[in-house]
Amino acid sequence: MSNRRLIYGFHAVNARLWQNPKSLTELYALSGRHDTRMQQALEKAAQENIPVHFVETARLDNLCRHARHQGIAGFIDASHNHVHLDDVLDNLTESPLLLILDGITDPHNLGACLRVADAMGVHAVIAPKNRSVGLNATVSKVACGAAETVPYIAVTNLARTLRELKERDIWIVGTDMGGEADLFHYDIPAAVAWVMGNEGEGMRRLTREHCDALVSIPMLGTVESLNVSVSTGMVLAETRRQRALKAG
Which residues are annotated as part of the binding site for S-adenosyl-L-methionine? 197, 217, 226
CA distance 176 to 181: 10
Distance separating alpha carbons of residues 90 and 194, to the nearest angstrom: 19
Binding residues: 197, 217, 226
Measured CA to CA, the distance from residue 214 to residue 172 in angstroms comes to 9
Nearest to 6 by CA among 62, 86, 85, 88: 62
Backbone angles phi, psi at 130, to 5 degrees: -90, 155
In the chain, the N- to C-terminal Cα span, in Å, equals 51
Please tell me the distance from the alpha carbon of residue 176 to that of residue 91, in angstroms, as a whole number: 31
